[in-house]
């Protein structure tokens, strides 16, 4: 059984994702595809534009065989932890032998070379990173600059220009984190990369038939008729998205949570804010001051962000606060090896064969019905129960953003059936 692993968000599934999937299958000659997908909140600090079950439908229609959920404890964190959580889930299936990710570079060897250095970060490099951080820049920029200084002094074919070009591109960075996680977990999974096709990751406006998910989401939020994006998504993906908007179950955006976030911030003390991951260097006071001054979410973020504290980082902090994710609990999961279970969101007929094999090979419990496991299988204070409880809470809060009140009921992680494709 040759199984391909993909870590993704599909927010929403578009032509670029379809290109990546088809190219990955051709490159690996895989028999089966397992996708680890973020749930209702995604890595850049936003709610997903439509819920996780409808995005699972998109993935299965595209040809994915099995969709596993990346727990919120990893889906809504920095690239390092997002990658670690996804890789650990693929590791624990016991059947994935290759994973493929998209990158701006499209070459695996330079990414591996940089990953090997970062996986066992030498003191000299750590010191260089700290020197850059002391200049007030963000961690990604500090690390990129430090690497461009450090690596060319080694016995390597990587030039300063090559390092800078590689480490300053978002998909390259995420790819490096995937490989680093594979190294640190002694994984047997082989990493491969495919050069990204079409618009840049940060592209905010539509450009060509393969464009960024950001541009697609921006267009949807401005014009829910969807006419401008019809050619940018496979027909099944477009139809699912259109139906959710017709039902007033989307599109969901961070601004849907504007008042709850401002309310929580205004009643939260700086000392409590310090318990949220990534709140460092006195940021708690800056957040608190901004919360009392701002009258909107956009104004709040604008008042907080700096060169060091990026908008994405701030948005993740705000959502951690909204969802009740605190630093100590997240670190507890990390120390315990990451995700504590393999939660199945959906599968195809071929996916049934994968699950049958995984019952023998998986090193983590398989969850297909949350009620069965959360209510009876785990002690209430176990890490498994805590991680699952976070997921239930995240969905409960996400559902409050629906314009149609009929869909706002809580407990949907208990009642929503698996998504099956014949």
Q: Any known ligand binding at 404? A: no
Question: Is 18 annotated to bind ligand?
Answer: yes
Task: Taking residues 19-38, report their average pLDDT.
Answer: 97
Residue 203 has pLDDT above 60, yes or no: no
Q: Does the annotation place 16 within a ligand binding site?
A: yes
User: Dihedral (C-alpha) 321, 325, 326, 330: value to the nearest 10 degrees?
Assistant: -150
- The reply, when asked if residue 341 is annotated as ligand binding, is no
Nearest of 73, 45, 64 to residue 7 by alpha carbon: 64
* pLDDT band at 378; cut points 50, 70, 90: low
DSSP string covering 133-166: HTTT--HHHHHHHHHHHHGGGSSSS--HHHHHHH
Quote the pLDDT of residue 221: 92
User: 200 pLDDT exceeds 70?
Assistant: no
Residue 228, pLDDT > 60, answer yes
What is the reported pTM? 0.95
Cα distance between residue 388 and residue 386, in whole Å:
5
pLDDT, residue 43, reads 97
131 is in an annotated binding site: no
For residue 371, pLDDT over 90 is answered with no
Alpha helices by DSSP H, 233-326: 235-246, 258-267, 270-273, 283-293, 297-304, 311-323
The answer to whether the annotation marks 182 as part of a ligand binding site is no
Q: How far apart are CA 278 and CA 270, in angstroms?
A: 14
Residue 102 assigned as binding residue: yes
**Tell me, what's the pLDDT at 404?**
96
Q: Between the CA of residue 35 and those of 65, 223, 358, 396, what are the distances in Å?
A: 8, 30, 14, 24
266-285 per-position pLDDT tens digit = 999 999 999 999 999 999 99
50 by DSSP, 3-state: which?
coil
What residues are paired with 100 via a beta bridge?
192
The predicted structure's pLDDT at residue 161: 80
Q: How confident is the model at residue 412 (pLDDT cuts 50, 70, 90)?
A: very high
Q: Which band of pLDDT confidence, cut at 50, 70 and 90, is reported for residue 192?
A: very high
Residue 402 annotated as binding site: no
- Distance CA(126)–CA(132), nearest Å, equals 10
């Amino acid at each position: 059984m040759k199984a391909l692993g993909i870590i993704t968000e599909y927010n929403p599934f578009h032509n670029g994702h379809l290109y990546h999937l088809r190219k990955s299958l051709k490159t690996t000659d895989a028999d089966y595809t397992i996708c680890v997908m973020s749930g209702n909140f995604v890595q850049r600090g936003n709610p997903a534009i439509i819920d996780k079950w409808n995005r699972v439908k998109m993935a299965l229609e595209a040809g994915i065989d099995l969709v596993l959920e990346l727990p919120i404890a990893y889906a809504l964190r920095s690239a390092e932890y997002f990658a670690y959580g996804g890789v650990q889930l693929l590791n624990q299936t016991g059947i994935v032998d290759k994973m493929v990710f998209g990158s701006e570079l499209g070459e695996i060897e330079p990414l591996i070379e940089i990953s090997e250095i970062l996986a066992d970060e030498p003191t000299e490099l750590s010191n260089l990173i700290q020197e850059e951080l002391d200049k007030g820049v963000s961690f990604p920029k500090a690390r990129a600059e430090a690497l461009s200084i450090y690596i060319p002094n080694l016995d390597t074919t990587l030039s300063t220009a090559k390092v800078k070009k590689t480490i300053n591109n978002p998909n390259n960075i995420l790819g490096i984190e995937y490989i680093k996680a594979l190294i640190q977990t002694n994984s047997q999974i082989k990493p491969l990369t495919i050069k990204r096709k079409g618009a840049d990751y940060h592209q905010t406006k539509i450009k060509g038939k393969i464009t960024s998910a950001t541009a697609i989401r921006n267009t949807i939020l401005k014009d829910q008729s969807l006419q401008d994006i019809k050619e940018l998504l496979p027909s099944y993906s477009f139809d699912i998205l259109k139906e959710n908007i017709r039902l007033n179950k989307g599109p969901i955006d961070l601004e849907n949570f504007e008042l709850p976030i401002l309310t929580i911030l205004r009643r939260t003390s700086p000392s409590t804010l310090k318990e949220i991951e990534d709140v460092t260097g006195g940021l708690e006071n800056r957040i608190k001051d901004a919360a009392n001054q701002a009258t909107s979410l956009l104004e709040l973020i604008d008042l907080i962000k700096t060169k060091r504290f990026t908008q994405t980082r701030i948005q993740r902090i705000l959502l951690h606060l909204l969802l009740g994710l605190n630093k100590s609990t997240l670190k507890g999961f990390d120390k315990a090896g990451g995700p504590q279970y393999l939660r199945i969101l959906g599968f195809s007929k071929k996916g049934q064969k994968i699950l049958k094999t995984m019952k023998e090979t998986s090193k983590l419990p398989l969850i297909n019905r949350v009620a069965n496991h959360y209510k009876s299988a785990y002690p209430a204070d176990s890490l498994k129960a805590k991680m699952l409880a976070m997921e239930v809470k995240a969905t409960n809060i996400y559902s409050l953003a629906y314009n149609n009140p009929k869909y706002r009921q809580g407990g949907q992680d208990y009642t929503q059936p698996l998504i099956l494709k014949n």
